[in-house]
Amino acid sequence: MNKKQNDKVVLVLCHNDLRLHDNATLVKAAKQAESGHLLLAYAANLTNELNQKAWGQSYHFDKLGDARQQFLNESLADLNASLNNLGNRLLYLSQEGSEHNHNAFAQLSELIEQQQVSDIFVSDTADYAQIKIYNLLRAKYPDIAWHSESINTLYPKMPTKKLPQSFTQFRKKVEYDQDLLKADTDLEITKIPTTLPPLPEALIDASKYALQLPKINKSANPAKDQPEYKGGESAALEHLERYFSSAAPSSYKITRNALDEWTHSTKFSAWLANGTLSVKVLLNRLRQYEREVVANGSTYWIWFELLWREYFYWYALEHQQDLFLFKGISDHRPSNRHNQQRLESWQKGETKYPIVNACMQQLNHTGYMSNRGRQIVASCFIHELGLDWRYGAAYFEQQLIDYDVASNWGNWQYLAGVGADPRGCRQFNLKKQTQQHDPNGEFINKWLS
């Protein structure tokens, strides 16, 4: 065997791909490291400094919300356990775990240099700050071979030549393209590896990169009821099977706007967001349900919503930093303003609108809010409170267990009238929304009592 091949030290930088199933990034990295060594690293807060520089002190935050942190912790612990079974482990890089209080980027650089990494593998992402980090690494280490795999979207490339200006145009293009639709019925899934190349000797037992996850202050946020969310690939795959073994998919379109019920929408978003669930595996399971149980307007609508996710992914890639601009991708600046006191009343669920307050309490306690709830509180934020939409988006970023840069900032732009909505700003009538979605006040009572 050629000496160079033997010496390969391959690093996988994990980000939104915290799984073994359908993970071409991992499988290709393992192949590249065959008879060499494989490192899998997760760097916490890697983009924090970049974001802080970009946003200044305004709407940047230092600490994730408890629920989001807990979901991430569970996801990383589950991945680490799976890697242990395959003879490897997850290297965890964080400022707290660093001897010299190095930030995550400095630690990553140290790891790359000390281990003489020959190749870096990442999964494609639409996260602007994460892409910036990758570009910094590529510039710093031009001799390291760089590999990137698409594993988090239904389509490996944007399915249309140009990004259409609206979701409807995008959907129509996809629906009228028979080849795309045919490919949709049975997507090719990458097999789970049965073994992995080992870590370099010096890192096998090293405590330096041990998984020391931030502790959650549970007492600060007692859950109203036991949320059924648990982070990690194992829980994601269990949920997938449970959901499609139930009758819920066949009535999704009728129930999806409910504010609180677990089975009324699919609840896949959090696992999709950090890559503990493959969207292709999800779509194949939906198609199987359609073949074996029923294909109706509801199962179509699950696909429709997954296509929204897809649209925002390509939208974020296309618009890059404009995703975070006050004027978004439009040519006008809204007249709204930042106001700290009003922002805090919204965050704490202390506005004069009970429906908004209940939704915000739900978010603060569980890290989740229904799609209708998000539309209601965002509309109130923009219209009734007259606030700068980016502060609302940043609060969602901190709290949501399913935070996804493209879906979050894309949806906020859309509602603020500075994004991909041909109809302009959308205002929800809070009284009507309450009558329609909480006619007996059960939701409000539950979260405000």
Residues that bind ligand FAD (CB under 6 A): 256, 265-269, 272-273, 302, 305-306, 308-309, 312, 370-371, 374-375, 378, 396, 400, 402-404, 407-408, 411-412, 415
Of 121 and 311, nearer to ligand FAD (C-beta) is: 311
Minimum CB distance to ligand FAD, residue 268 (Å)? 4
- Kindly tell me which of 199 and 272 has the beta carbon lying closer to ligand FAD: 272
How far apart (Å, rounded) are the C-alpha atoms in residues 193 and 94?
A: 27
Output the smallest distance, CB 304 to ligand FAD, in A.
8
Angle, CA 404 vertex, CA 112 and CA 124 arms, to 5°? 45
Nearest residue (CB) to ligand FAD, 121 versus 313: 313
Which residue(s) pair with 91 in the sheet? 41
Name the residue nearer to ligand FAD (CB basis): 92 or 229: 229
Looking at the Cβ atoms of 80 and 411, the one nearer to ligand FAD is: 411
Residues 6+ apart with CB under 8 A from 413: 323, 328, 329, 389, 419, 420
Q: CB of residue 368 vs ligand FAD: minimum separation in angstroms?
A: 7
CB 69 to ligand FAD: min, Å: 15
Q: Which is nearer to ligand FAD, 38 or 387 (CB)?
A: 387
> Whole-number minimum distance, CB 391 to ligand FAD, in Å?
13
Q: Which structure tokens are listed for 361?
A: 């309490």
Residue closer to ligand FAD (CB basis): 108 or 306: 306
Q: How far is the CB of 110 from ligand FAD (least distance, A)?
A: 32
> CB-wise, 209 or 412, nearer to ligand FAD?
412
Q: For residue 252, give every residue at least 6 positions away whose Cβ sits within 8 Å of its Cβ, in sequence order, or none.
A: 265, 266, 298, 299, 301, 302
Alpha helices in 293-353, H assignment, sequence order: 297-319, 340-348
| Token pair belonging to 29 | 């990295």
381/345 Cα distance (integer angstroms):
10
Measured in degrees and rounded to the nearest 5, phi and psi for residue 220 equal -70, -20
CB 377, min distance to ligand FAD, A: 8
Q: CB of residue 165 vs ligand FAD: minimum separation in angstroms?
A: 17
Q: Which is nearer to ligand FAD, 305 or 318 (CB)?
A: 305
* 275: region left, alpha or beta (phi > 0 left; psi from -120 to 50 alpha): left
Nearest residue to 73 via CA among 243, 208, 215, 246: 215
Nearest to 123 by CA among 158, 148, 86: 148
What does the alpha-carbon distance between residue 51 and residue 398 come to, in Å, rounded to a whole number? 13
What letter does residue 188 receive in the DSSP assignment?
A: -
DSSP 248: G
Nearest CA among 45, 85, 89, 87 for reference residue 207: 89
Q: Please, what is the minimum distance in Å from the beta carbon of residue 136 to ligand FAD?
A: 25
Determine the straight-line distance between the first and last CA of the chain, rounded to whole angstroms. 69
The Cα angle at residue 226 between residues 284 and 228, in degrees rounded to 5:
5
**Smallest distance, Å, CB 2 to ligand FAD?**
44
Q: Are the C-beta atoms of residues 406 and 312 closer than 8 Å to each other?
A: yes
User: 3-class DSSP state for residue 121?
Assistant: strand
Complex with ligand FAD: residue 80 or 413, whichever CB lies closer: 413
